Chain A
Amino acid sequence: MSALPSNRALYRSGPAALSWPRQVGAGWWYQLKMQAQSGFVVLVSLIQPLIFASIAMADQQAGNRTLPLLYYALGAGIMGIWSTVVFGCGGALSWQRHQGMLEPLVMVPAPLIVVLLGITLGTASVGLYSMGATLLWGWLIFGAHIHLVDPLAFGLAAEVMIVALGLLGLVLGSSFVLYRNANSLSNALEYPVWLVCGLVVPLSLLPGWTHYLAYILAPTWGIKAMRTAALGGDPWPAILWCAVSSVAYLGLGVILVSNVERLARRHATLTFQ
């Protein structure tokens, strides 16, 4: 007993089923703190969304003004969240491997999926800065009327969407690790998802075949839920679809991560590029 360090909390694992949420929570919090130190994250989650929000809202004011400013402020916020996810989560596994951290992460008793969940959910949560920033920017600079019809549903929609995007990030991270140049893939995936999910362009303007892509992507349901909660309408079906897509992403993520782990162990590529 005397050999145990004074900080016993570190060793308080308990039954596996109960310790996993704590491990995800600890990873989430650590990731939040770490991301806040990164200049790139500040760019992607704050500066870039403000530039895109300004473009969309300036175009709205110069154009036909058929959609309210809040429509574009919300869309630009989720654009920022997606950028954070596609860069932060897309390269999460590759980055751990590049840093030589994948080997210890695989070696620890906690399952790799639990460790990665903390990272991807934390990264997606950082994207919430974007939402706050674009709403504040729209109100301060463009005079957007920020009135939420159903604040409770809006808050819930935001949380469900963050979880869904974090889990989608898990799928991206475990897929991109198979591709040597994950960052290039992230570069190419930013605009298509912004467009296809109807974040600032109504889906009705896009060709019909793009709608099928939109339905399987969580940002489509996230923005729909948040817009209906903010501007009026029934947000609950979209919130439900967002939750359903989260479960599907989690299942896919578990399969992909275990596959990556198995292949990396077999080919001894846990520490190599």
Chain B
Amino acid sequence: MSALPLQRTRRTGNFWRVFFVGGLISYRALFYWITPWQYIPTMLAAPLFQILFFVYLGRATGVGSTTFFVVGNSIQICSMSGIYGMTMALANERQFQTLSPILATPANRMALFLGRGLPVLVSGLQTTAFGFLVSALILDFRPAPGVLPELALTVLVSTASCTGFGMALGSFGLRARDVWLVANIAYFAMLLLCGVEVPLHQLPGVLQVVAHALPLTHGIAAGRLLASGHHLAAAWPDIWEELAIGVAWAVLAFLLFIYFEREGRRTGSFDRL
């Protein structure tokens, strides 16, 4: 009888070890852009130029203020990590022929799966923080200092939500042959659909419905409210919705992961490229 609590403690310890250590190792092994030669051009320079490009497009078309585009793009660039990073963290196991050994271990699947999201989430936060910082320096983006913690909370929720979406895309990589095409389309479609570059009410009705099911749409709306001087109370509904959408995508992603694991075992398709 006395051995049971000890066993449970060990199991819990194993869970967190797989979650933290396993997640970190997988990030170091599978994230293509981890070296400075890749990280700086891809995760910092490209997102920065994206912000500049759309701020100037906004000025040319007169559709929105600099704040509108800075907030939209700075939050959206977290998906560089959320979408591509999560796709790498899951799909590259198959690409590198390491999926079978990993799934042969008795490691807790929830820890194995969610642990990969944590470094990706941190990386996404870095990119978004860099976007806001450089926008403050060169585009004169000046939110009220009092809203910064609230804006940070919104960014955290949005990045987590986007990571959940990326997990779902990455799970397809356990089965699909070319998940990169889907990840690329998802990244660019989010620019159009999530209200990043075009006000949501300008989109056709069907696309608005799709937009509300995607991550970032509500987070960006909340971020814009806060940046334009509204209080947290005004942004809460959007933040909650963003959180709920993120959780829904993460749950779907985990179910897909389990399903594709079972299918892979049944059909022996883990190493089939």
Contact = CB atoms under 8 A, between A and B. Distances in A.
Contacts of A192: 49
Contacts of A190: 46, 49
A264 B195 CA distance: 48
B202 A188 contact: no
A205 B202 contact: no
A55 B192 contact: yes
A6 B50 CA distance: 55
Nearest to A39: B181
Interface string B153-197: 000000000000000000000000010110011001101100001
Interface in B34-68: 35, 37-38, 41-42, 45-46, 49-50, 52-53, 56-63
B229 interface: no
A181 interface: yes
Given A191-B46, A191-B50, A58 B198 contact: yes
A64 interface: yes
Interface in B77-99: none
Contacts of B52: 191, 195
Given A55-B197, A181-B37, A188 B45 contact: yes
Contacts of A184: 33, 37-38, 41-42
Interface stretch (A16-24, A46-54, A117-125, A245-253): A46-54
Interface residues of B, number: 34
B111 interface: no
A201 B197 CA distance: 14
B49 A191 contact: yes
A194 B53 contact: yes
B184 A43 contact: yes
B225 to A, nearest CB: 19
A96 B218 CA distance: 44
Contacts of A58: 192, 198, 202-203
B13 interface: no
A51 B197 CA distance: 11
B43 to A, nearest CB: 9
B46 A188 contact: yes
Interface string A50-89: 0110111011111110110000000000000000000000
B178 A59 contact: no
Nearest to A204: B60
A223 to B, nearest CB: 14
B199 interface: yes
A185 B45 CA distance: 9
A202 interface: yes
A187 interface: yes
Interface residues of A, number: 37
A40 interface: yes
A110 to B, nearest CB: 33
Contacts of A188: 41-42, 45-46, 49
Contact of B61 (A43, A54, A60): A60
Interface string A172-216: 000000011100110110111011000011100110000000000
B41 A187 contact: yes
A63 to B, nearest CB: 4
A56 B181 CA distance: 23
B189 to A, nearest CB: 6
B66 to A, nearest CB: 12
Contacts of A52: 188
B56 A187 contact: no
Contacts of A51: 188-189, 191-192
Contacts of B199: 62
**3 nearest interchain CB pairs?**
A191-B49, A63-B61, A188-B41
Given A201-B57, A205-B56, 19 more contacts: A43-B184, A47-B188, A51-B188, A54-B198, A56-B61, A58-B198, A58-B202, A59-B61, A62-B198, A62-B199, A62-B202, A64-B62, A179-B37, A180-B37, A181-B41, A188-B45, A191-B49, A194-B53, A205-B59
Interface of B: 33, 35, 37-38, 41-42, 45-46, 49-50, 52-53, 56-63, 178, 180-181, 184-185, 188-189, 191-192, 197-199, 202-203
11 contacts: A47-B185, A55-B57, A59-B58, A59-B198, A181-B38, A184-B38, A187-B41, A187-B45, A190-B49, A201-B56, A201-B59
